[in-house]
Amino acid sequence: MLQRLLSDNFIPTADAGVGALAVSGLSVAYHQRLVLRDVTWTAPARGLVAVVGPNGAGKSTFLKAVLGLVPALTGTIEVYGRPLKRQRALIGYVPQRESVDWDFPVSALDVVTMGRYGLIGWGRRITGKHRAAAMQALDRVGMADFAHRQIGQLSGGQQQRVFLARALAQEARLYFMDEPLAGVDAATEQTILAVLRELDAEGRTVICVHHDLQTVAETFDHVLMLNGGLIAAGPVREALTEENLRRAYGQRASGLLLGPR
């Protein structure tokens, strides 16, 4: 792993002042409608970042445009100071659970092994070494016992953990996660949050679309607040203010942080 990073990819040391992700002037439109306007933002070199905003604010679109999954109208993306295209091997991705067909004939282990394909390479067979690494990733999310289950026979929370394990198997430096906590059970939520903290402790960056404002402060260090464009960004304490929430969510924002009374 280390060898691959040294040869193909470039990661500056943490004190070099280069962010994990630098987005500049990113605008995205679906058909005629502008979804994101001119977002310029630099992610911190490490830490957990929550991308928040109301429904339809463009959170998922932001993630997909950064990853090149939807075309951007304008803007450039850099990962650790270099164009994203050359740094793909440093990126891990957890898509929304609804994005795939769970009736697909693969086991949980098969799916997690897909996280290793980039390390295995074109046309090569999957070796025991990579299968063991996938198994380890499954174990990390508490899913080792389900390795050989067809994915359709897993609960929603278990499926989400399989997706997280696949990203772990990628051994990435910078992770993008699209609502990994949406609609999961309490046990899964605890597991995922624990893994996020581990990733943080290992010095990796996680950029995570998150819909539950009340848990942002407990888990995340930084916030990127979007609503059709950049509303606010920075450490949770500075950016997650009533004033900013009102700008993102409108008047409904009062009490969002405190929860229903």
Partner 1 sequence: MAMVGHNTLVVLLGATALGLAAGMVGCFMVLRRRALVSDALSHATLPGIVAAFLTGMALGVEGRSLPLLLTGAAISGAIAVATIQAIKRWTRLTEDAAIGAVLSVFFGAGVVLLSVVQELPAANAAGLKGFIFGQTAAMRTGEAMGLGALALLAAAMVWLFFKEFRLLAFDEGFARAAGWPTGRIDLALMALVTLVTVVGLQTVGLVLIIALLITPAATARFWTDDLARMLIIAGGVGAVSGGVGALLSSRFADLPAGAIIVLVATTLFFISLIVAPSRGLLGRSLRRARLRRALLAGELAP
Check binding of 249 to partner 1 (CB under 8 A). no
Check binding of 67 to partner 1 (CB under 8 A). yes
Of 110-118, 137-145, 185-193, 218-226, which segment contacts partner 1 by CB under 8 A?
110-118
Considering only 29, 34, 120, 253, the residue that binds partner 1 (CB under 8 A) is: 120
Check binding of 82 to partner 1 (CB under 8 A). no
**In the complex, minimum distance from the CB of residue 68 to partner 1, in angstroms, rounded to a whole number:** 7
Considering only 47, 95, 157, 180, the residue that binds partner 1 (CB under 8 A) is: 95
Check binding of 170 to partner 1 (CB under 8 A). yes
What residues pair up with 50 in beta bridges, in sequence order? Answer: 208, 223
Check binding of 64 to partner 1 (CB under 8 A). yes
Of 73-81, 102-110, 207-215, 241-249, which segment contacts partner 1 by CB under 8 A?
102-110
Check binding of 93 to partner 1 (CB under 8 A). yes
Check binding of 182 to partner 1 (CB under 8 A). no
Which of 14, 51, 2, 71 shows the shortest CA–CA distance to 236?
51
User: Pattern of binders to partner 1 over 5-44, x per CB under 8 A?
Assistant: --------------------------x-------------
| Residue count, binding to partner 1 (CB under 8 A) | 33
Check binding of 253 to partner 1 (CB under 8 A). no
Comparing CB distances to partner 1, the nearer of 118 and 142 is 118
Q: How many angstroms separate the Cα of 156 from the Cα of each of 172, 181, 183, 202?
A: 24, 11, 8, 28
> Which parts of 184-243 interact with partner 1 (CB under 8 A)?
none
Binding site for partner 1 (CB under 8 A): 31, 64, 67-69, 88-89, 91, 93, 95, 99-101, 104-107, 110-111, 114, 117-118, 120, 122-126, 150, 152, 166, 170, 176
